Structure 1
């Protein structure tokens, strides 16, 4: 068989009825079924997703590779499994709630081939109050910078990756990260890429907010989020020398992941949990905050400075007096509705992987 131009990896856990439109958008691609393959990894679904996947596989023989595995507790494991099975020149990760414009894959592959792109971003559109990045999609560009064109604010894995580059560097998802697991994957791919391109002349990727979704940031638990945020900062430190590039990515993580540790629900946490979160955040701020805190807006800087000083009570007062400090609307920034995995039973009550999940 000829090598497909692109392998689309779809990690699935209980995504009905949104899964139907997701898979239908793949069968409608103008690229054509002979030039693509779809690798669907069902991570132990229980809501009818399994039957829907099988229905599409029967209707389109040869297009779908279907794998079913016990629930892993997060999207990292099924994403890695799909990547291991992928055969295409490029690989694209599609959230099982989301869908693509009919010409998305054809246009992305054509642009990546034309410019030799190792990573290519396509313009995203939000459906149902979902939040998507906008700055990086102001215009189509054959090559963008790591920092300065909006890339640090667009770290979901919903991108086209040259598979040879991914395999040569053995880039994989960290299966010990139940939250944010695609960000280290995307960052490493971008750090190693020879060229990163953006296709932004129309909407290609439609990111859907589920009607019943909840924010992964809150459902994952503050200590889990803290641990995963530390891994994001470690990734940039591992690949980037001190300087503007590293600071640009650290500013993003301070602005988003660290600040979100101190949302409206923080004062209601148990005192021991609050102290552990503040202590852990203070360690990260002290380690990575040089040149970063002063680049934040006043509200975020004030919050993180209180955490850095270990002023837990003052921090709680700051949060309670802030009318804007309300739980964010449900947003799956990583390209998955991760809350479904986090609320699923942990795989293997006996002998499950350490670090899969921590109590919320």
Structure 2
């Protein structure tokens, strides 16, 4: 049988990270002869060519391809696909790492589901990864319902014949959003897209001061022209209506309105630079984003959209400053063993950085958000209406592996009440979860190691999370529970011990 997976890595002056990247691939649990590692050097000027030559000579699974300098990762990725011998191709960047079982597990899912694309769980280190995309494993995922637009980087497993059949290629040269343009087209073309969410597959890292294709000055004119081309792809595969509006809302939120929050907006040092990209965003909204798109936006982004459409830059800046630091204030109400499960109960409420609660008010039969500052631009009640959103508010428990940073939601029973705060109302959330170490992580045992407990509040489009600490009822100076539990897991018998960290947060240690 031939090569199952070709891992394609575009390289540009990557000498500092090549060893770590290569090691993560060459130590995979998949048998060495079943995969290959294809480095494509895009005209590096450091010692990268020599390092790649030595690595290819030493390791049979490694191939080094030298490509004329192109100024972007698209051309070397395309060359890697052409050179690849694998049935599937996985794109990895030079400073990222694969988890040990990544290739074995993704390929098993791809063959079982006959997938054209497999999204293996990615953890961002200094980079944001949409948690909804990897909320659960899916054999046959839907672009919208399973939030696939939340992850558009090329860190995916693609069937190579699928890429070739549809002539799916990355834009070449120093292009903006080159990954979006290929991945979105691939999503539309694929017969089956699968999501593997119960194990970390890739660590996506942001390295300080790295030499990389993406390390270039932001050009708002070129960037938003590239976004227009992405929207053209959506238009080519959808009809006007709710489906297209939901897709447009993804980029409107993530690539436009999100730039009008703290610290992105007010963290930019030069006011002219801020206004330059604001001007491009405003121009694009008027061209391409009809008002029905706003219905698919989270609350605070919807308010920003109303302000943007009225060109109310000063109010947008005022809201960004006032809304900064929005978080969940949480207290532990209960922790203890119930049989073989650790039962945890916490309460929480949304607050701003200064401790003020997020509040709402009633207006007839509507419930409206009270923005944290006075807006000089008059907006209708419709802009602040949360009547159809507030009932879905939840407080969830999350367990996060301290070693690989993989985070997993624990099934949580959530309760909601609206408490009076003077003339206003605030949301109070209570969540109760049971962590069974034998089946604690999406239906499989918790691995040996340390698992940190976090709480996440999902309300009206906000989703802050934080570590779960002690409380007056359960002070961190005392043991959280009076015993440990033993359970059978993969690889033998394990012991689970809840404990307080040095900072007074709740964690569970699992050991053989």
TM-score normalised by length of structure 1:
0.79
Number of the residue aligned with 1:268: 270
Aligned counterpart for 1:192 among listed residues 186, 189, 200? 189
**SS of the counterpart of 1:55?**
helix
What's the offset of the Cα at 1:211?
3.2
Give the whole-Å Cα distance in 1 for the aligned partners of 2:37 and 2:51: 14
Q: How does 1:10-159 map to 2 (within 5 A)?
A: 10-61=9-60, 63-127=61-125, 129-159=126-156
Count matched residues.
321
CA distance in 1, matches of 2:157, 2:276: 41
Point out the structure with max Rg over C-alpha: 2
Q: Give, in whole Å, the separation in 2 of the partners of 1:319 and 1:81.
A: 43
Q: C-alpha displacement at 1:153, in angstroms?
A: 0.5
SS of 2:249's equivalent in the other structure is helix
In structure 2, the CA distance between the partners of 1:245 and 1:203, relative to structure 1 (3 Å rule), is same
> 1:92 & 1:306 partners in 2: Cα distance?
42
Confirm whether residue 168 of structure 1 aligns to residue 169 of structure 2: no
Distance 2:215 2:242 in 1: 27
Structure with greater contact order relative to length (CA < 8 Å, sep ≥ 6) = 1
Q: Distance in 1 between matches of 2:148 and 2:243?
A: 11
Aligned mates of 2:173, 2:93 — CA distance in 1:
20
Cα distance in 2 between the residues matched to 1:135 and 1:96? 26
Q: What is the match of residue 291 of structure 1?
A: 292
Deviation at 1:235, TM superposition (A): 1.7
- State how far apart, in whole Å, the 2-side matches of 1:276 and 1:200 are: 35
TM-fit CA distance, 1:177: 6.0
Quick check: which one's helix share is greater?
1
Distance in 2 separating the partners of 1:120 and 1:309:
42
The alignment's TM-score, normalised by the length of structure 2, stands at: 0.57
Deviations 1:124-173 (A, max 9, x none): 1233x332232122222211111111211011111111111111110111
Kindly report the root-mean-square deviation, in angstroms, between the aligned alpha carbons of the 2 structures: 2.9
Which has the larger strand fraction? 2
Distance apart, 1:253 and its partner CA: 0.4
- Which runs of no fewer than 5 residues in structure 1 stay unpaired? 326-360
The aligned counterpart of 2:207 is: 210
- Deviation at 1:205? 0.8
CA distance in 2 between counterparts of 1:289 and 1:229 reads 16
- For residue 438 of structure 2, what is the aligned residue in structure 1? none
SS of residue paired to 1:291: helix
Distance 2:75 2:271 in 1: 30
Distance 2:121 2:163 in 1: 22
- Cα distance 1:53–1:176, how it changes in 2: closer, same or farther (>3 A)? closer
> What is the distance in 2 between the residues matched to 1:200 and 1:279?
36
Stretches of structure 2 lacking an aligned partner (at least 5 in a row): 327-512
**CA distance in structure 2 between the aligned counterparts of 1:177 and 1:125, rounded to whole angstroms:** 26
Deviations 1:66-107 (A, max 9, x none): 222343222112111212222321111011111112221121
